[in-house]
Amino acid sequence: MPFSTYLDSMRDDCKELVAQLSKSFEYVSILGTDVHAEAYRADRKMSSAQDGEGECGFVIKMHNGDSFYEYSCDDIKGDKKALAEKIVNSTKTDPELYERRVKTAPVSDTPMKKDFVRETDFDKYSDEYLLSLCKNVSKKLLEKDEKVLNAMVVIQPYTVSKLFITKNRELSQHYGWANGGKMVIYNDGKMAQARDFDGAGSLAEIIAKLDKNLDKLIDLAKHLTKAQPIKPGVYDVITDSSITGLIAHEAFGHGVEMDQFVKDRAMAKHCVGQYVASPITNMHDGAAATVSVASYFFDDDGVLAHDTQIIKDGILVAGLSDLASATQLGTEPTGNGRRDNYRRKAYSRMTNTFFSKGTDKLEDMIASVKHGYMLFETNNGMEDPKNWQIQCTAEYGIEIVDGKLTENYVSPVVMSGSVPELLKSISMISDEFEVHGSGYCGKGYKEWVRVSDGGPNLKARCKLG
């Protein structure tokens, strides 16, 4: 599937509108989005094949050395002079707020013209094939064990086309990502759900994984029906890569989003250059840091993708910024300006966030634990960048006794406490590495964007409840 023909046809319209608005503003950018998604799903009783989340529209950003102004709309065809007048009028404020505008440096508009493409294989697979696959895998899961009440299987490819135009810049990007997975609801006296979801740059990879590990998934569900609540306490823990990613995300992902620096909402602003984690710890974020769900070529401010090292050998070295926050802080934006969709504001957001791998063997890490838990699978988390508290919920944990994993499962497991205490307690890091590209991240309780996170296994000490 090529770059959006619609957006391609709108290049001149964008340039014309930029020219009109440039009569009123020093900096004008237009981001056009055309995102298509499909969702195939099957379970015991139902199936569906339809459009998934999508969007098609424009957001115009303007700046004159004070506040930023934005206007979101579905189309910009027609009389550009009239549209420009409408936009200028719409973004005016009550006169009493006029004097309260921020004062900032001008926005730089470095010339660049480039078209970025990462090909997908989505066109190779028909609706019929993908839906049949979901139905077949669901059927197989249901037939494996009568205690499987339901088995849901999904495949969700999506393709992104974005066009970014300023007076000096003309960028386009086209790429795709696919998610897929399965979930069973199991009843063995007690009900439990077990999931196995993943993401990949091609449908071939998702398809290859979809009907693998079916027995393992049912076995997990069986164990979860026997899971007990954990006795609250402080334990040695080993994390799987998804929990490692959740810690990275909640602890120092949100904590270094630099729009929070501007608002004095992040303690990290005062800790750059200081030890915030164990000296064996390294952490990155960036659309260019790895290939996963958040690997775009330029962000929603037209800034090229970066690979930002956030923590280097335990020391906090850098944060993540969008255009507005970098302009106010007097720094270079890091390519982390992201929008939920064209209707929403761009904020500083994470992309692909992960701890770097270490040198330890996972089996040695488990063997080093006298009594503790290995934690698996992200459920949810919540950030607190100002006060450096953290809450991460794992789907389940397995008790470790005398250096060995037992058959004792606990669920759910809520890990909480102080971010620096947790990160400074990291004593071993495995030589394995996996990034999970099937997540979403909100800012507070809104502004959802697709993110990945992950890394190696970590050994740390923290409070579980």
Partner 1 sequence: MKNLNKLLDEYEGMSGYRIVEKHVLSYELFFVHRSLETVRDTDTTATDVTVYVDHDGVMGDSTFHVYRSMTEDDIKNKIKTAASRALLVSNQPYELPDGGKLEEKLPTDLDKYEPKTLGRMIADAVYDADNVPGGSINALEIFIYREEKHVVNSRGVDKKQTVNRVMIEAIPTFTDRDESVELYEDHRFTKFDREKITAEISEKMKEVSDRYRAEKPGKELNVNVVLRPHEIASLCGELSYDCNYQAIYMHANLHKDGDDLQPGDCDKINLTMKGVIEGSENSAYFDGDGAKLTDTVIIKDGVVCGSHGSYRFGQYLGVKEPSGALGCIELGAGTLTDEEIGKEPYIDVVSMSGIQVDLYNDYIGGEIRLAYYYDGEKTTPVTGVSMSAKLSDVLSSLRLSKKTDVCRNYKGPVKLLMKGVSVL
What's the min distance (Å) between Cβ of 421 and partner 1?
Answer: 10
**Distance (Å, whole) CA 162 – CA 116:** 10
Footprint (CB under 8 A) of partner 1, residues 292-321 = none
Q: Does 265 bind partner 1 (CB under 8 A)?
A: yes
Nearest to partner 1 of 118, 461 (CB atom): 461
- The least CB distance from residue 60 to partner 1, in Å, is 10
Amino acid identity at 380: N
Which of positions 214-243 make contact with partner 1 (CB under 8 A)?
227, 229, 232-233
Bond from prior residue into 106 cis (ω within 30 degrees of 0):
no
Among 153, 262, 287, 422, binds partner 1 (CB under 8 A): 262
Long-range CB pairs of 187-194 (<8 Å, 24+ gap) are 187/147, 187/149, 187/225, 188/147, 188/222, 188/225, 188/226, 189/225, 190/225, 190/226, 191/149, 191/225, 192/221, 192/224, 192/225, 192/227, 192/411, 193/221, 193/224, 194/218, 194/220, 194/221, 194/224
Q: Which of residues 95-124 bind partner 1 (CB under 8 A)?
A: 96-97, 100-102
Contact residue for partner 1 among 131, 251, 276, 318 (CB under 8 A): 131
* 3, 27, 68, 164: residue in contact with partner 1 (rule CB under 8 A): 68
Interface mask toward partner 1 for 318-347; x: CB under 8 A? ------x---x-------------xx-x--
Determine which residue in the list 90, 168, 274, 359 makes contact with partner 1, applying CB under 8 A: 90
Tokens of 27: 């900096």
Choose one: 195-203, 274-282, 362-370, 385-393; the region binding partner 1 (CB under 8 A).
385-393
Indicate whether 371 belongs to the interface with partner 1 (CB under 8 A).
no
Q: Residue with structure tokens 């106010």?
A: 328
- 90 neighbors 71 (Cβ within 8 angstroms): yes
Name which of 418 and 427 has its Cβ closer to partner 1: 418
Using the contact rule CB under 8 A, the part of the chain among 41-49, 106-114, 116-124, 365-373 near partner 1 is 41-49
- End-to-end C-alpha distance for the chain, whole angstroms: 48
C-alpha distances in Å from residue 46, one per residue of 49, 217, 385: 11, 21, 42
The candidate with the shortest Cα–Cα distance to 334, out of 312, 307, 310, 354, is: 307
Comparing CB distances to partner 1, the nearer of 226 and 361 is 226
Nearest distance in Å: CB 438, partner 1: 20
Q: What is the 3-state secondary structure (H, E, C) of 282-305?
A: CEEECCCCCCCCCCCCECCCCCEC
CB 390 within 8 A of CB 465: no
Q: Which stretch binds partner 1 (CB under 8 A): 115-123, 278-286, 291-299, 416-424?
A: 416-424
The reply on whether position 457 binds partner 1 by CB under 8 A is no
Is beta strand 169-187 parallel, antiparallel or unpaired with respect to 112-117? parallel
Tell me which stretch binds partner 1 (CB under 8 A): 164-172, 211-219, 294-302, 378-386. 378-386
Stretch that binds partner 1, among 86-94, 171-179, 272-280, 357-365 (CB under 8 A): 86-94
Stretch that binds partner 1, among 278-286, 301-309, 387-395, 448-456 (CB under 8 A): 387-395
Nearer residue to partner 1 within complex by CB, 392 or 426: 392
The answer for residues whose C-beta is within 8 angstroms of residue 388's C-beta and 6 or more apart is: 255, 267, 418, 419, 420
Contacting range for partner 1; rule: CB under 8 A; set: 64-72, 166-174, 236-244, 363-371: 64-72
Strand 446-455 versus strand 352-355 pairing type: parallel
The per-residue DSSP string of 28-66 comes to EEEEEEEEEEEEEEE-SS-EEEEE-S-EEEEEEEEESSS
Containing 208, the helix (H) or strand (E) segment is helix 203-210
Site string for partner 1, 396-415 (x = CB under 8 A): ---------------xx-x-
For residue 363, state whether it binds partner 1 (rule: CB under 8 A). Answer: no
Q: Tell whether residue 386 is a contact of partner 1 (CB under 8 A).
A: yes
